[in-house]
Amino acid sequence: MNALILVLFGIYLLSRTVVKPINRLVSVTERYDGAIPKLQKGEVPNNEIGRLSQSLNRMLRQLDANERELKENILSLKAANAEIRKSRDEMVKSEKMASVGRLATGVAHEIGNPLGIILGYIELLQRGDLTGFEREDFLSRMESEITRIHRIIRDLLDFSRPATAEQHHSNAHEILEDVLAILSPQPLFEKIHIQRSLQGESVIVKLAEDSLKQVFLNIMINAADAMDDFLPGPEGLPEPTLTIESFNEEGFLIMRFSDTGCGIGPHEIKRIFDPFFTTKEPGKGTGLGLSICYTMVDQAGGGIHAESKPGRGTTVILHIPLR
């Protein structure tokens, strides 16, 4: 009888000091929803179970603090992301203005010639000893020079105008011709022979007109810079040549721009897509051109890389996804 009472008492003690507190801990952990449960004084027994529940409570507090810290970190990451996006957009804009700035010297030169011719005709017309036929001839020549200036200015304005936001596709061959029309009369391109081998049949690519113009412009100005003042060896090509090829391959338009310029060494070529990497003198290059090309083409799901033989020339290869 005594033994039975002892066993029942043991069971009662076990349930009070071990089973109940453990059940309470289990229900506290199951109910945990981010709010720290408040343990009442009497709820915490003064033994191992009590210490376990206190350390569980400390752990929950730590979890809560970590969660708050994580939320703060996510917020500041979001803010940093927005800041990065903003400065990238500004970088693209300023690089674009820099290339338009470089074109401006050439444009001033291009406009200067017809203006000089027009001034010459005005002087002649002011003399007053001209026949009616001469007058008409000079006036029509003046008109054609003015039309030339008008075209140059219109091309440049077209070039610097931002594309509409909803436009995400463009005709790569058409854009290439637009850029070539701007570049070929430039003094920098005066001595450069341009060869085209455009085999691409699908040419509507997933890149906005504005971005594609900037990519072509930078690659070709780089090529011209590399050929400027560079004299190929005796076995080299007779004249500085920029060869542009295109063809289709597995959903992409591949475009290769090969120049016969100074080339890039194996050490430098690894860095040409890094922002601010430039070997040009101040005022001639910011080192942002290729890194911006890389970002634009990469975001469109394409790629850009370069191969070069120092002293022989460089080829820049674009993989642009087709629409």
Ligand X SMILES: Nc1ncnc2c1ncn2[C@@H]1O[C@H](COP(=O)(O)OP(=O)(O)OP(=O)(O)O)[C@@H](O)[C@H]1O
Under the rule (CB under 6 A), what is the footprint of ligand X?
Answer: 95, 98, 218, 222-223, 226, 259, 261-264, 272, 277-280, 285-291, 314
CB 103 within 8 A of CB 156: yes
Nearer of residues 208 and 264 to ligand X, judged by Cβ: 264
CB 208 within 8 A of CB 167: yes
Among Mg ion, ligand X, none, what does residue 242 contact (CB within 5–8 Å per kind)?
none
Token look-up 């191992």 returns 48
Pick from 200, 240, 261, 289: which binds Mg ion (CB under 5 A)? 289
Distance CA 260, CA 307 (A): 12
Nearer of residues 142 and 219 to ligand X, judged by Cβ: 219
Give strand pairing partners of 322. Answer: 205
Among the residue ranges 38-46, 69-77, 135-143, 287-295, the one whose residues contact Mg ion (CB under 5 A): 287-295
Nearer of residues 148 and 213 to ligand X, judged by Cβ: 213
149 burial level (CB within 10 Å; 0-12, 13-18, 19+) = middle
Among the residue ranges 108-116, 219-227, 241-249, 297-305, the one whose residues contact Mg ion (CB under 5 A): 219-227
Regarding 222 and contact with Mg ion (CB under 5 A), the answer is yes
Site size toward Mg ion (CB under 5 A) is 3
Nearer of residues 216 and 252 to Mg ion, judged by Cβ: 216
Work out the angle between the directed axes of helices 172-183 and 209-227 (0-180°, nearest 10): 50
Tokens, residue 233: 């060896």
- Residue 83, classed as helix, strand or coil, is helix
Q: Letter for the amino acid at 252?
A: F
CB 52 within 8 A of CB 25: yes
Among ligand X, Mg ion, none, what does residue 272 contact (CB within 5–8 Å per kind)?
ligand X
* Nearest residue to the partner Mg ion, using Cβ: 289
Nearer of residues 49 and 224 to ligand X, judged by Cβ: 224
Distance of CA 264 to the CA centre of its chain: 22
Shortest Å, Cβ 289 to Mg ion? 3
Residues of this chain that interact with Mg ion (CB under 5 A) are: 218, 222, 289
